Amino acid sequence: MDGVGCAAPGSGTRPVIRQPVNAEPGQDPSAYPPDMVEPRSVDVGGIRLAYRTSGPADAPPLVLLHALGEDATDWEAVLPALARSRRVYALDLRGHGRSDWPGDYSLELMRADVLRFLDVLGLGPVDLIGHSMGGVVAYLLAADHPQRVSRLVLEDVPVPRPREPGVPARPDGVLTFDWEVVAAVRRQIDRPDPRWLERLGRITAETLVLAGGPRSHVPQDGVAELARRVPGGRVVTVPVGHLIHRTAPEAFTEAVSAFLEEGSVLLAEHEHDGVVLDPDELTARWADAWRPEQVAERLGRVGVPWCVVAGWALDLFRGGQSRPHGDLEIAVPVAGFTEVRDCFPEYVFDAVGSGRVWPGAGDEVLAATRQTWVRDPASGRFLFDVFREPHEGGTWICRLDESLRLPYDTIIDRTAGGIPYLVPELVLLFKAKGTRPKDHADFDGILPLLSRARRDALGGWLARLDPVHPWLARLAGQ
């Protein structure tokens, strides 16, 4: 995590919360100019949490969580750009800046503070950015309360692994944070709860991981592993070191803004139509998922290059079911989706994205998402999952790396009964991002069945996405 020497010197005591500059008593905060940074505070379960707001009051909410020893002012270099299209809430986490310094500190308490902050302000799903320590708080919140986070940005945050313990010497002079928070947080970072690693797989928010490259003191293989363990995670490297938002603010805001804007305008317009399903309800509603042959029977005559993907595809490759499957996933080119949908006229296609489900979604929401669940309207049960994949004519485009483009006839194999499935080397490429035991078990089970050519293909693609992935050594072996 950050060295606390990065923190700015304070005035001797914890600052007092003040009214916004030029604010009149009782004035409606939404009347302030959009670019005004307004310092405020709110009670979150017995402590005061300070924050600054900026941006149009009716814009989608974006919450910023700072690093150890910093506070909301650390985001000043990027705040104006982020606030152009977002209502930004930059927090002082407990023990930092203008927030209370209660003496009781942990990353779980900080997570709880942020959750209460969202509740008190009545904020629905938010976009969330966390730097270093703030990134840990952010991913803990996104993992334990996935319905509260739409999109997640983690700036130079490594995967939680044990490391050599150590607490830096206290800097001279007064501080703008409680020194006690340093020892408390460092203890947790040095010896993280093993459950943190497991919970990364629960995150449903689209996730961008920004890596600082070789100039950062944070191990970059740990940053890459974090992105790999978060479903839907992707990595962008800005090689300026740990403080990307401060050292390269334009590169930071360009990457973050592009990520946040992906589909956000259309989804924001239709957010009230989407629903959030809790995990238990989801499990129950997938209890009657179809098998590959049921879908293949309906799609036998379509001209669309569709295929079974994920765990079922690997079982079709090996010739038998190896484990239970919670659902059935197929992939179709975007342009062929309508033809596929027309083969199931009695069922409803629900769009899925950002932790929400849009029942019977229209074209606008479909255009802003890529995943669709097929539902039986009589029972409410989901039958199979359709991914609408990017392509150029007869060329498939990998959504993990758009430079990976392959003809459809090279990525689809068929069973003896004619069921099409994605080739195992590409299935494993997508599974390489996972941290679930079943993903590793799938790799262990399929690896001995792969030809040298398939191993080399997977190894080459995986090395481009994650040069330090642990599967690479096994793929290179005999």
Domain of residue 134, CATH code: 3.40.50.1820
On whether both 32 and 89 belong to a single domain, the answer is yes
Is residue 3 predicted with pLDDT exceeding 50?
no
Better pLDDT: 273 or 220: 220
Least confident interval from 31-40, 307-316, 395-404: 31-40
Rg (CA), the chain: 24
User: Does 43 reside within a domain?
Assistant: yes
Report the residue count for the chain.
Answer: 478
Q: Which residue has the higher pLDDT, 391 or 184?
A: 184
Query: Do residues 281 and 250 share a domain?
Result: no
Residue 477's pLDDT band, with cuts at 50, 70 and 90, is confident
pTM above 0.85, yes or no: no
The one-character DSSP state at 69 is T
d(C-alpha 119, C-alpha 124), whole Å: 8
Same structural domain, 112 and 207 = yes
pLDDT of residue 261: 82
Is residue 18 over pLDDT 60? no
* 67 in a structural domain: yes
Q: Which of 388, 404, 422 is the last residue of a domain?
A: 422
Please check whether residue 459 lies inside any domain of the structure.
no
Q: Span 390-396, mean pLDDT?
A: 85
Among residues 380, 400, 422, the one where a domain terminates is: 422
Quick one: 45 and 101 in the same domain? Answer: yes
391 found inside a domain: yes
Query: What percent of the chain shows pLDDT beyond 70?
Result: 87
Quick one: 177 and 225 in the same domain? yes
Same domain, 361 and 414: yes
Average pLDDT of the chain, as a whole number? 86
Residue 22 has pLDDT above 90, yes or no: no
The pLDDT confidence band at residue 467, using thresholds 50, 70 and 90, is confident
Assign 258 a pLDDT band (cuts: 50, 70, 90): confident
Q: How far is CA 213 from the centre of its chain?
A: 20
Which pLDDT score is estimated for 387? 93
How far is 123 from 125, CA to CA, in rounded Å? 7
Answer for the pair 359, 347: CB distance below 8 angstroms, yes or no: no
The pLDDT of residue 177 is above 50: yes
Place of tokens 């009782």: 26
Nearest CA-CA partner of 186 in 132, 114, 115, 116: 132
Please report the pLDDT score of residue 60 as a whole number.
Answer: 87
What pLDDT was estimated at residue 435?
57
Q: What is the CATH number of the domain that holds 322?
A: 3.30.460
Which residue, 213, 231, 262, sits at the end of a domain?
A: 262
Q: What is the pLDDT of residue 30?
A: 37
Rounded Cα distance between 93 and 99, Å, is 7
Maximum pairwise Cα distance, the chain: 76
Higher pLDDT among residues 70 and 146, named by residue: 70
SS3 content of the chain, % helix, strand, coil (to 5): 40, 20, 40
Q: Count Cβ atoms within 10 A of the Cβ of residue 152 and give its class: 0-12 exposed, 13-18 middle, 19 or more buried.
A: buried
Is the residue at 218 inside a domain? yes
pLDDT for 331-354, tens place per residue?
999 889 999 999 999 999 998 876
**Residue 433 domain-assigned (yes or no):** no
d(CA 27, CA 30): 9
Instruction: Please say if the pLDDT value at position 271 is more than 80.
Output: no
Q: State residue 422 phi and psi, 5-degree precision.
A: -65, 135
> Same domain for 9 and 109?
yes
Has residue 436 got a pLDDT over 90? no
Choose the weakest-confidence range: 4-8, 52-56, 110-114, 448-452. 4-8
Residue 463 maps to a domain: no
Do residues 71 and 130 both lie within one domain? Answer: yes
Q: Which has more pLDDT, 347 or 258?
A: 347
The SS3 of residue 104 is: coil
> Are both 247 and 296 inside the same structural domain?
no
Please tell me which residue, 155 or 468, carries the higher pLDDT value. 155
Q: Where are the beta strands (DSSP E) in 142-268?
A: 149-155, 206-211, 233-237
Per-residue pLDDT reduced to its tens digit, 410-428: 999 999 999 999 999 999 9
Q: At residue 26, does pLDDT exceed 50?
A: no
pLDDT classification of 362: cutoffs 50, 70, 90: confident
Total of domains in the chain: 2
Alpha-carbon distance of 136 to 193, in angstroms, equals: 12
In a domain, 286, yes or no: yes
Predicted confidence at residue 8, as pLDDT, reads 31
Predicted pLDDT of residue 12: 32
CB 70 within 8 A of CB 132: no
71 and 125 assigned to the same domain: yes
3-state secondary structure 380-434: CCEEEEEEEECEECCEEECCCCCCCEEEHHHHEEECCCCCEEECHHHHHHHHCCC
Based on the fold, state whether residues 189 and 327 are members of the same structural domain.
no
Note down the domain range covering 32: 4-262
Instruction: Give the mean model confidence (pLDDT) for residues 145-154.
Output: 90
pLDDT at residue 478, rounded to an integer: 59
Beta bridge partners of 352: 357, 371
Same domain, 248 and 352: no
Residues 6+ apart with CB under 8 A from 197: 159, 160, 161, 229, 435
